[in-house]
Chains A and B, each alone.
Chain A
Amino acid sequence: MPAFDPNAKKMLISGNEAISLSMRHCNVQFAAGYPGTPSTEILEDYSELGGYAQWAPNEKVAAEVALGAAFGHARSVVTMKMVGLNVASDVLYTATYTGVDGAMVWIVADDPGQGSSQNEQDTRNHAKASVCPMFEPSNSQEAYDFFRIAVQTSEKFKIPVILRMTTRVDHSKSIVVPKEELPAMVPNFERNIAGHVMVPGFSKPAGRRLRAKMDEMEAWNVAEGPNRVEMRSEDFGIIVSGISYHHVREAAPEASILKLGMTYPLPMQLIKDFAKKFEGKRLMVIEENDPWLAENIKAAGIQCESKFDPIFRFGELDVNRVRRIIAGDRNPDPVPVKGKPPMLCPGCPHRSSFAMLKELDCIVSGDIGCYTLAALPPISAMDYMIDMGAAIGMGIGLRNVLPREQAKKVVSVIGDSTFVHSGITGLVEAGYNRPDTGHVVVILDNSITAMTGQQEHPGTGRHLDHSPAYKLDYGAIAKTAGFDNVYEVNQVKEPEKFKELVKEALEKDELTLIVAKSPCILALKSILAWDKANKEKAEKALAESEAAAKKNGNF
């Protein structure tokens, strides 16, 4: 059950919960995604509210299945964190050309301040580069409302739309008053080869159509977009979007505000009109992350002040920082007292894995997940980490150039969810461009996507809602890719065996996959409960079909 009453007239919910509810009320037919903080809960909540959602192996696949659904005249959603959009951007940059037949909303969650991310990229750059309309909510009510507007805009203009969230909006709770349901769409195939097949002959005119559509959308945004002017002071105006709106209201209650809800294509006429009111007076743009609004507004010939980027483009904004931006304070941020960093849980299987890799003095080409914490003291046993799946490719690159005695120490270490996400092509690379010294890949199979809060993936044998699914066989993939050896070992129960396997593998000039299989301690109770429920359900179904067969005399 969801953590809130979906039937209440007024509720206190997070931005993510608000989106999941809005998805239900907009009668979304299909939702896919790949977990990633702070976006993960949206699909989980949506599923608990009775919506249909699935985890894909990665964001690119998630976007493709959602796009297919939108081609079939459905309303679809794809969710991801901002780095996921790098993986899925290939889909987006051409899906804007084709547009959609139903509706498609890309919910992309940025993480200013890097609470849980490997970089601090700003999705607004992708929106502009891919020519994809974008909305930026600033609280839960707007998350609810803007999702609906995103759906309606997508339908009206037949184009995918980005709902750009940020951690603070995803995870903060505020009050939401829901609206009535939108009538559902009726999925249907309609042939339109020139509109859907992006060979150059069809895609060149599509690119031009897209730009023309943007002009139309900008005019719509100026006239009807979810933007608002709040006039107070006649001497001081501020242009904002997203969460910055609330920080600004608190830091400068006297200031007039142009609050932008749809930030691509920007409603330039609205901005010009607002700017005009403050000619010769003070006009500022206040925004988190990149100086994106400021650059675009200045490029349109509008003069305004913006934040001092050497300091304020990094990290989240808050009321104090906004006060400092307004005051023109260029001093470095005060250094907060350091809290206690997160650590691997006591009894975590990753502890055993890295203790052994450390004892063997391996060069560890690592990856992203709970296990990345092994890069920090006191373990300090991971040497590289860039993006999901990179462990294998980077390991092969190192093996190719390092002197033999160093090359033979290189191990690629990757979590199970991360392996499925984008490690498989790495194995194919290893088999195809096999380094002279061979290679050793360790999959840390804790049977869950632990880092983001225990999500299923194609290797767990369960779907998003924990119902049974086909379970991927990592060893079989490695064999097919050309690996010589495949081993599975419980590194917690048999640490010495794990160590011996890695040691032997390092000595050979062969390709070896070692699956270190031991469940996430934090997830173990849930995993056992899900498996038990699935087994009981299967047994019950079997008993029922046997009884039916008996009754029909088919035995």
Chain B
Amino acid sequence: MSVVNVKFAGLGGTGVIKASDVMAELVFEQGYDVKKAEVHGMSQRGGSIASDVRFAKGEEVQSPMIPTGEADYLVVFDETQVVVNEAFLKQGGVLLTPADIDVSKLENVKALNVAMLGKLSKHFDFTVDQWTVALNKLFAEKFHEGNKKAFMLGREG
């Protein structure tokens, strides 16, 4: 198996880093080699943010950053960020955006990132339980219920 590249992108405050942490945690727990890159520094809210997760089994992940044109999945949490990041998507790669989710059914708009993970989850063989373990590890307990619903909305919607 070669390296799988998932790029998350959005604006500051939309949960980009959190989503990439969940994905990275999930594959780490499943025994993959994994690297995760992100750019953070400025505190202020609202600028473009992206985070890369790269994982592989039986092979080492080298650079933590996904090269242009090599993302298998591009998961974007804010439609404006599609143009900014689409050059990273490989030909035939999968683009997921908020338009793929029935956002009106989200109880909490902040959980959009989790719903997008639900959508993404359909492309992998990991079980809902495995995803839930990773989600619960990264979020405070009070979000667990809501996250589960948001995740299933994305996965089944």
Contact = CB atoms under 8 A, between A and B. Distances in A.
A249 B33 CA distance: 15
Contacts of B67: 250, 318-320
A454 B44 CA distance: 11
B64 interface: yes
A174 B40 CA distance: 17
Contact of B35 (A174, A334, A370, A452): A174
B43 A343 contact: no
A126 B37 CA distance: 27
A545 B87 CA distance: 66
Contact of A522 (B25, B41, B43): B43
User: Most chain-B CB neighbours within 10 Å: which of A250, A339, A344?
Assistant: A339
A454 B81 CA distance: 27
A12 B40 CA distance: 18
B41 A37 contact: yes
**In the A-B complex, the 5 residue pairs with the closest CB atoms:** A339-B48, A116-B41, A342-B47, A172-B64, A250-B62
Contacts of A336: 84, 87
Given A168-B37, A318-B65, 15 more contacts: A116-B42, A171-B37, A171-B39, A250-B67, A336-B84, A336-B87, A339-B47, A339-B81, A340-B11, A341-B47, A342-B44, A342-B45, A342-B47, A370-B42, A373-B44
A175 interface: yes
Contact of A339 (B25, B36, B84): B84
Interface string B11-47: 1100000000000110010000111111111111111
Given A12-B28, A168-B64, A337-B87, A451 B42 contact: yes
A246 B64 contact: yes
Contacts of A249: 60, 62-63
A341 B52 CA distance: 19
A38 B45 contact: no
A499 B42 CA distance: 28
B138 to A, nearest CB: 9
A350 B54 CA distance: 39
Nearest to A172: B64
B63 A345 contact: no
A151 to B, nearest CB: 26
Interface of B: 11-12, 24-25, 28, 33-48, 60-65, 67-68, 80-81, 83-85, 87
Interface string A242-265: 010011011000000000000000
In this complex, the interface size class of chain A, counting residues with CB under 8 Å from chain B, is 35 or more
Nearest to A38: B41
Interface in A345-389: 345-346, 348, 370, 373
B84 A337 contact: yes
B46 A320 contact: no
A110 to B, nearest CB: 13
A370 B41 CA distance: 11
B39 A343 contact: no
Of A172, A247, A452, which is in contact with the most chain B CB atoms at under 10 Å from its CB? A172
Given A345-B46, A454-B43, A247 B62 contact: yes
Nearest to B138: A3
A69 B24 CA distance: 39
A339 B46 CA distance: 11
A246 B63 contact: yes
A370 B47 contact: no
Contacts of A450: 43
Contacts of A373: 44
A258 B25 CA distance: 32
Given A168-B65, A173-B24, A343 B44 contact: yes
